[in-house]
Amino acid sequence: MIDYEDALARLLGTASTLPVERVDAANAIGRVLAAPLASAEALPPFDNSAMDGFALRCAGEVIHAGTVIDVHGLRAAGDGEARADDGAWEIMTGARVPDGLDSIVPVEQVETLDDDGGVPRIRVTADVTPGQHLRRAGEDLQAGAVLAEAGTLVDPALRMLCAAVGIAELPLRRCPRVALVNTGRELVDDPRRALGAGEIRNSNGPFLAARLAAAGADVVACRTVGDDVDAFLEALAVAGDVDVVVSTGAVSMGRFDFVPEALARLGATTLFHKTRIRPGKPILAATLPGGALFFGLPGNPSSTAVGLRFFVEPVLRRMLGMPDERVLELPLLAPYAKRAPLRMHLKARVVLDAGARACVEILAGQESFRIRPLLEANAWAVVPADVDTLPAGARVRVVSRGHLEPLGLYA
């Protein structure tokens, strides 16, 4: 067995950043930028009104309540350039302010007067200060400004900003191509089929397929095979050109744990087999002859989840060119003690204590066969191998359920 840190270093040392591809911005949500993204346009692109009202020229001076001003024009959203040296222009929210005017008085602070010789007039009923209710060109974003750095996840807010400044395509990292192979003659894929004696439903496969996609991967193949070396090797062969292969089951020391034998026949190079962690101690990692990284995850659900979150996902992050993940330290809600000198990865919830402070609750049901606690958890808590007991209030490392997810918080 090796320590987790050593295992992770070996994995990251073999992971290469994937190439760049240009993708329509409309299809970029959930993808990762491969280069800094700058805007060629300012936002707003012109001075515009923040209110329905009248545009005026203050020229650095307050226009006092009671002042009567002639109205010279009307501006609606979408109208083009206009020039005004004095007077008032009726204006709608978002409309371009005529050049020469510099302030907006809301319609609620205006009294409309009778025409004086055919010229409409207004009286302002409150002082107008220079620049009020005016959105300046470039106030939100200057032309040339960097919107996001390389390694940034494209989310709806960034998509909105790209649309606002006319960015149609984005330079993105290619998604890691992943093949998924579930092993076990006891597994039943069809949820409609009744179980036979000794059979169980395949839950790891759907979980991994969903979480891999949420982690930025493109799951290009997903197969279930029995406890058979030849069937396993055939599944790897038909997966095609992939960056990562993830399998579940058959990596421990039992009679039917055949994955190490299959990798040896294939000519794979083992990076490690077994780490000082719980759950998931039997995890195996290797490089396949074609260059793909192979992860053999133990078959128990929590072991599978830990293998994905703490081994596979950091590699996907490296392939996507993202910076190392930030890890929080939060106080424990209650004392914790463990029974083995291993690094523990614990299903947990980030909650608010009685004083409305964020802390972490270690959930019941940490056994590796249990699935329900994975639903209840919104985080993972990590306790180092050399720590046996922790009092309430002790700080522990906490990460979100997935590396592209925000850390949840439940009151």
Residue appearing with tokens 């950091």: 314
pLDDT single digits (tens) 267-293: 999 999 999 999 999 999 999 999 999
Q: Which domain holds residue 212?
A: 4-18+175-319
Neighbours of 231 (CB within 10 A): 17
Residue 163 has pLDDT above 60, yes or no: yes
144 located within any domain: no
- Do 231 and 362 share a structural domain? no
Mean pLDDT value across residues 161-172:
97
Helix (H, G, I), strand (E, B) or coil at 315: helix
Residue finishing a domain among 274, 300, 319: 319
The confidence band for 255, taking pLDDT boundaries of 50, 70 and 90, is confident
Spell out where 165-237 has E strands.
169-173, 177-183, 187-188, 200-201, 218-225
410 located within any domain: no
Residue 116 has pLDDT above 70, yes or no: no
pLDDT of residue 407: 83
Residue 9 has pLDDT above 90, yes or no: yes
pLDDT, the chain, mean: 95
For β-strands 119-124 and 68-75, DSSP reports them as antiparallel
Which domain CATH number covers 187?
3.40.980.10
- Do 198 and 169 share a structural domain? no
Residue finishing a domain among 295, 319, 343: 319
Which domain CATH number covers 342?
2.40.340.10
pLDDT of residue 410: 62
- Do 227 and 103 share a structural domain? no
pLDDT of residue 137: 97
Helix (H, G, I), strand (E, B) or coil at 265: helix
142 located within any domain: no
280 located within any domain: yes
pLDDT of residue 64: 98
pLDDT of residue 252: 84
411 located within any domain: no
- Do 86 and 197 share a structural domain? no
pLDDT of residue 17: 97
Neighbours of 220 (CB within 10 A): 16
Structure tokens at 133: 């209710």
405 located within any domain: no
106 located within any domain: yes
- Do 267 and 228 share a structural domain? yes
- Do 194 and 281 share a structural domain? yes
> With the C-alpha atoms ordered 285, 152, 395, 369, is the resulting torsion angle positive or negative?
negative
Residue 256 has pLDDT above 70, yes or no: no
- Do 107 and 159 share a structural domain? no
pLDDT single digits (tens) 32-71: 999 999 999 999 999 999 999 999 999 999 999 999 999 9
- Do 179 and 169 share a structural domain? no
Kindly give the interhelix angle for 229-239 and 259-266, rounded to the nearest 10 degrees.
Answer: 60
370 located within any domain: yes
pLDDT single digits (tens) 71-102: 999 999 999 999 998 899 999 999 999 999 99
pLDDT of residue 285: 97
Residue 151 has pLDDT above 80, yes or no: yes
- Do 388 and 269 share a structural domain? no
What total number of domains does the chain contain?
Answer: 4
> With the C-alpha atoms ordered 23, 28, 32, 38, is the resulting torsion angle positive or negative?
positive
- The CA–CA distances, whole Å, from 357 to 16, 88, 195, 330 equal 40, 53, 47, 10
- Do 200 and 314 share a structural domain? yes
Percent of all residues in the chain with a pLDDT value above 70, rounded to a whole number: 99
Helix and strand numbers, DSSP H then E, in the chain: 8, 28
pTM: 0.90
pLDDT of residue 114: 78
Cα R_g (the chain), whole angstroms: 31
Residue finishing a domain among 319, 339, 374: 319
Residue 19 has pLDDT above 80, yes or no: yes
- Do 131 and 181 share a structural domain? no
Q: Which ranges constitute the DSSP H helices of 334-409?
A: 372-376
- Do 352 and 309 share a structural domain? no
pLDDT single digits (tens) 326-356: 889 999 999 999 989 999 999 999 999 888 8
The confidence band for 119, taking pLDDT boundaries of 50, 70 and 90, is confident
Mean pLDDT value across residues 145-165:
97
pLDDT of residue 320: 98
pLDDT of residue 240: 86
| Separation of alpha carbons 358 and 312, rounded Å | 28
pLDDT single digits (tens) 352-393: 988 889 999 999 999 999 999 999 999 999 999 999 999 999
The confidence band for 411, taking pLDDT boundaries of 50, 70 and 90, is low
